[in-house]
């Protein structure tokens, strides 16, 4: 008959291994839970929209999403990769005619320069508002089905707020998506 010490000597490694596995399992599960619960940055949040399956349904929604992306561009904590990711998403909202005016590389270079200039000027977008749905003007002509609306940006530069009003022109593409054909400063910019 085996003594109690012999049994304990054989069980002790099994108990130690089991305890170690429980501790490892706890840390792995806890780390996964913490990672899943970590809040998304503003850039990550706005980039989660998959435009292939969840494209904005109206001209107002397209301009609103474009303004959200624009607002994210000028966050101080953004890296160049963040700016490029936002810029890539913005280009998905552009009409093919607008995209054809610059290559992707030219657009990104210009965008990075603009963001850097905003940072140097301590300038960023505080908020924005778009025209109401009833104020969107629709027209059919040789260019196709068009929509026009306004977006007012409240900007801050060196501690002072000012408004930047833009008039957007959108065109419906063959898939029925409203794409940004262009924009220009509204006449009443202050």
Reading the chain (190 residues) residue by residue, the pLDDT tens digits are 567 667 767 766 766 776 666 767 777 766 665 555 667 778 888 888 889 999 999 999 999 999 999 999 988 888 999 999 999 999 999 999 999 999 999 999 999 999 999 999 989 999 999 999 889 999 999 999 999 999 999 999 988 999 999 999 999 999 999 999 999 998 765 4
- Domain shared by 65 and 158, yes or no: yes
The answer to whether residue 190 is domain-embedded is no
- Domain shared by 61 and 137, yes or no: yes
Separation between Cα atoms, residue 137 and residue 36, nearest integer Å: 43
The answer to whether residue 136 is domain-embedded is yes
The answer to whether residue 64 is domain-embedded is yes
What is the residue range of 102's domain?
51-185
Cβ neighbour number for residue 4 with a 10 Å cutoff: 7
CATH code of the domain in which 153 resides: 3.10.450.100
- Domain shared by 69 and 119, yes or no: yes
The answer to whether residue 45 is domain-embedded is no
Q: Residue 156: exposed, middle, or buried by beta-carbon count in 10 A (0-12, 13-18, 19+)?
A: middle
- The terminus-to-terminus CA distance of the chain in angstroms comes to 97
- Domain shared by 88 and 160, yes or no: yes
- Domain shared by 31 and 98, yes or no: no
The answer to whether residue 181 is domain-embedded is yes
Number of domains in the chain: 2
């Amino acid at each position: 008959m085996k003594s109690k010490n012999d049994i304990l000597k054989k069980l002790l490694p099994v108990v130690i291994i089991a305890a170690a596995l429980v501790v490892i399992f706890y840390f792995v599960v806890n780390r996964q839970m913490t990672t899943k619960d970590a809040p998304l940055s503003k850039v990550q949040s706005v980039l989660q929209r998959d435009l292939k399956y969840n494209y904005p349904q109206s001209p107002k929604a397209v301009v609103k999403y474009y303004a959200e992306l624009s607002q994210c561009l000028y966050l101080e904590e953004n890296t160049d990769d963040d700016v490029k990711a936002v810029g890539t998403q913005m280009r998905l909202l552009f009409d093919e005619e607008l995209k054809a005016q610059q290559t992707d590389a030219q657009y990104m270079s210009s965008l990075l320069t603009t963001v850097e200039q905003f940072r140097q000027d301590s300038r960023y977008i505080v908020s924005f508002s778009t025209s109401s749905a009833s104020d969107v003007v629709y027209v059919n002509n040789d260019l196709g089905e068009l929509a026009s609306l306004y977006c007012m940006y409240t900007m801050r530069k060196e501690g002072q707020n000012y408004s930047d009003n833009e008039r957007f022109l959108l065109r419906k593409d063959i898939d029925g998506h409203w794409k940004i054909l262009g924009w220009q400063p509204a006449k009443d910019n202050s």
